[in-house]
Amino acid sequence: MAAVESLASKRSIDSGGTKKLLIDGNWVSPSSGETFETRNPANNNLLGRIASGNARDIELAVGAARRAFEGPWSKFSPFERQRILLKFADLVEANFEDLCVLDTLDMGVPISLARSRKQRALGLIRFYAGLATTIHGDTIQNSIPGEFFTYTLKEPVGVVGAITPWNAPLTSTIWKLGPVLATGCTMVLKPAEQASLTPLRLGELLLEAGLPDGVVNIVTGYGETAGAALAGHMGVDKVAFTGSHFTGQKIIEAAKGNIKRVTLELGGKSPDIVFADADLDAAVPGAAMAVFMNSGQICSAGTRLLVERSIYDTFVGKVADYAKTLRVGDGLDPDTQIGPLVSAEQLARVKGYLAIGREEGAQALVGGDQLSGGAHADGFFVAPTVLAGVRNDMRVAQEEIFGPVLSAIAFDDFDEAARIANATSFGLGSGVWTRDVGKAHRMAKSIRAGTVWVNCYAAMDPAVPFGGYKMSGHGRESGTQHIDAYLETKSVIMKVA
């Protein structure tokens, strides 16, 4: 793993090829001295070693974050916080290609897809920079007898524990950093152990942008050690978590000690509904890439394809044919469209669900197994898979697979489509394909999900809230609602006469 330029000797992110922890503005070794490997999922080659933080390191990081919150950072004006965010955005832009390569090496995303996220990554940072100077309370007319002046203040919630997933290291990290820095909170970040390189590089860029020591701390390590310690720490005022609903349940349990605020962006089993009157030329690639993009490792992926019965065989066949054209390979190849799964563990999980699908009676029209020969021999590759003949009560239709596996389900009419769409414990994303605008609006209202895409899929903008219903979590990221979750409201009632 190539060493990254250090700010000063005590601030070197590397030590003999091992990445350190960022605590109180310095890159430090973990208290345990332990490390873990990070490997390229395309070929299983060793990239380097990462510091394995534990509860002691979390304790030090939370202490640093508290001191920064109550000290220098609290004196920064909204304009000064905005200035740091804008400088950070410029540095991310200047180093964007290197960040894309880190994402590709560490978790396998095709470099072409990583590059396509430039506008989103930079847009998020600059969006939050804009919000930094718009935070305000209200003056309130009241009916208290006498003369009273009443108003509210918006104040940062405090120390935030952020736990990010491995499927989009760059944008997921930025999504957590933005509201923290805009509102004046401080952060201890625990990146996913499967993909920590990009978050650590972002930590360097934040220091270069002039962020005071202790405002953002990064403790790499495992969920059961560093992550659990962070979620349960009594000095943390809020936890922001993105990941599986199983871990989300543990986060809620861990947060009860001091009733810390919790926002959760969890899993999904999103329905993508295709009516017979849809523009099929657009819907075929749209529905395919709704699940195959990033090898299906997207929480809102449209993994349940609901197709009107009159076009089911034709449409699902076309999606299968499209899947056959997708190039699967090493993400560093610019022609690659589908990269590897992130790890051997994830590969085993997906293969397990493919076996379950066969046992349940689903038919793989394309794919259905690991790619293991030639250039795929040493990596964690699964062919894009289309399962036909799926019923909504099958496990492959109800449980999040997090791989390039599409489950195609037939429906007869609008009401049945809505019923199937909502017959899941999740409610994150959804799609509707139709030329009938009225039908689109009715279905958008009928679906119990945080986002409904109509005649498109996975389009996102920093100003548009994103989050889920039901077991897909609570709270929203992006939009003005996002920073509200990082603010306390204080009421001031002043007797003036």
CATH code (residue 205): 3.40.605.10
Do the bridges between strand 405-411 and strand 385-388 make them parallel or antiparallel, or are there none, so unpaired? parallel
Residue 265 annotated in active site: yes
DSSP letter assigned to residue 225: I
Determine phi and psi for 308, rounding to 5 degrees.
-60, 135
The Cα–Cα gap between 216 and 223 comes to: 19
Same domain assignment for residues 388 and 481: no
Residue 237 included in any domain: yes
85/208 same-domain check: yes
pLDDT one-digit tens code per residue, 416-431: 999 999 999 999 999 9
Q: Which residue do the tokens 């799609």 mark?
A: 431
| Shared domain check, 235 and 302 | no
Dump pLDDT digits (tens) for 128-176.
999 999 999 999 999 999 999 999 999 999 999 999 999 999 999 999 9
Residue 185 belongs to a domain: yes
Per residue in 219-278, pLDDT (tens digit) is 999 999 999 999 999 999 999 999 999 999 999 999 999 999 999 999 999 999 999 999
Instruction: Let me know whether 134 and 251 are in one domain.
Output: yes
How many whole angstroms separate alpha carbon 109 and alpha carbon 121?
A: 15
Cβ distance 198 to 99 under 8 Å?
A: yes
Catalytic position from the list 204, 265, 308, 477: 265
Note the pLDDT of residue 4. Answer: 30
Contact indicator for 326, 337 with CB cutoff of 8 Å: yes
Task: Report whether pLDDT(14) > 90.
Answer: no
Q: What number of helices (H) and strands (E) belong to the chain?
A: 16, 26
Average pLDDT, the chain: 95
DSSP 323: H
Concerning whether 204 is annotated as a catalytic residue, the answer is no
Annotate 215-242 with DSSP letters as a single string: SEEE----IIIIIHHHHH-TT--EEEEE
443 φ, ψ (degrees, to nearest 5)? -70, -40
Query: 101 and 165 share a domain?
Result: yes
With respect to residue 97, please indicate whether it lies within any of the assigned structural domains: yes
- Of the pLDDT bands very low, low, confident and very high (cuts 50, 70, 90), residue 17 is confident
DSSP structural state of residue 309: G
Question: Per the domain annotation, does 1 fall within a domain?
Answer: no
Structural domain count, the chain: 2
**pLDDT tens by residue, 44-100:** 999 999 999 999 999 999 999 999 999 999 999 999 999 999 999 999 999 999 999
Residue 366 lies in a domain: yes
Quick one: average pLDDT of 472-484? 95
Residue 466 maps to a domain: no
Q: Which residues contact 89 (CB under 8 A, 6 or more apart)?
A: 122, 125, 126, 129
Co-location of 200 and 56 in the same domain: yes
Residues 181 and 286 occupy one common structural domain: no
7-11, 241-245, 302-306: least confident range:
7-11
Q: Is residue 336 part of a domain?
A: yes
Q: Which domain holds residue 397?
A: 271-461
Residues 195, 300: one domain? Answer: no
Q: For residue 139, what are its two tokens? A: 């003056």
Phi and psi at 458, nearest 5°, equal 70, 15
177-220: pLDDT as tens digits:
999 999 999 999 999 999 999 999 999 999 999 999 999 999 99
416 with 453, same domain: the answer is yes
Whole-number percent of the chain with pLDDT over 90: 96
Q: What CATH number is attached to the domain comprising 342?
A: 3.40.309.10
Q: Which of 100, 185, 193, 299 is catalytic?
A: 299
Do residues 191 and 301 share a domain? Answer: no
Give me the pLDDT at residue 78, please.
98
Claim to verify: residue 310 and residue 351 sit in the same structural domain: yes
Q: Environment class of residue 393 by beta-carbon count within 10 Å: exposed (0-12), middle (13-18) or buried (19+)?
A: exposed
Whether residue 258 is found in the same domain as residue 321? no
Closest among 195, 190, 208 to 57, alpha carbons compared: 190
| 146 is a domain residue | yes
DSSP state of 328: B
